[in-house]
Chains A and B, each alone.
Chain A
Amino acid sequence: DAGVIQSPRHEVTEMGQEVTLRCKPISGHDYLFWYRQTMMRGLELLIYFNNNVPIDDSGMPEDRFSAKMPNASFSTLKIQPSEPRDSAVYFCASSSQTSGGGYGGELFFGEGSRLTVL
């Protein structure tokens, strides 16, 4: 398996532009997570999906951020309009649920998308 695939790896954009980050989870994984990483705040959970359904989006900073998972093999994180304070590395991760319910623990992360908003 190729692992979690994210694109683009790097994006530089101007304030006010729309940014779309993409993620392909590992086949068969039923959890998908979007994290944001900055030096100041570390790894922050933005939103996660279970079986393509958003379960908790309480970490999404504001209405400018939205995430979708139209099918089991694809998710997007969109920022519109983007602002300089959105500059960060955005990680997508996937995992599979253990038998007996509950989360298995091992998240498989992608390489991240480094976003710079000028």
Chain B
Amino acid sequence: GESVGLHLPTLSVQEGDNSIINCAYSNSASDYFIWYKQESGKGPQFIIDIRSNMDKRQGQRVTVLLNKTVKHLSLQIAATQPGDSAVYFCAEIMNRDDKIIFGKGTRLHILP
């Protein structure tokens, strides 16, 4: 069935280190994947996306990797900053129905 899940509910990272947040999905028909960041008391905000015909996409301090063989998605944040503290969600979409399914989320905690 359709499901997106995350390996770890909480990730603690030292400020300045790189963060890697993982996501597993089960629907091989998904065309499109997105990472969202949700800060406390706010709605999720778009970070970066990747289409199923790509393996890697880079943004500013963030990189998304897609491994379709094992249905795995990851978000890498370089030089983690206090402002990166948030819950991160991966989401998958099948263009045939435009339905966006979110994973449970991983809380990123930055250690001083």
Contacts and interface: CB of A to CB of B under 8 A. Distances in A.
B32 A105 contact: yes
A101 B95 CA distance: 9
B93 A105 contact: yes
B43 A31 contact: no
A43 B49 contact: no
Interface residues of A, number: 25
A110 B98 contact: no
B98 A55 contact: yes
Indicate the size class of the contact surface on chain B.
20 to 34
Contacts of B43: 4, 91, 93, 109-112
A99 to B, nearest CB: 13
Contacts of A91: 43-44
User: Chain A's interface: helix, strand, loop or mixed, by majority?
Assistant: strand
Nearest to B6: A42
B77 interface: no
B46 A42 contact: no
Given A105-B32, A107-B46, A45 B100 contact: yes
A33 to B, nearest CB: 7
A85 to B, nearest CB: 19
Contacts of A50: 98
Contacts of A31: 98
B106 to A, nearest CB: 11
B42 interface: yes
List 8 tightest A-B contacts by C-beta distance, closest first: A109-B43, A43-B102, A102-B95, A103-B98, A42-B104, A106-B46, A105-B49, A109-B44
14 contacts: A42-B102, A42-B103, A44-B102, A48-B98, A48-B99, A56-B99, A91-B44, A102-B31, A102-B95, A103-B95, A105-B32, A105-B49, A107-B36, A112-B42
Given A43-B89, A45-B100, A102-B31, 9 more contacts: A33-B100, A35-B102, A91-B44, A102-B95, A105-B93, A107-B36, A108-B46, A110-B43, A111-B41
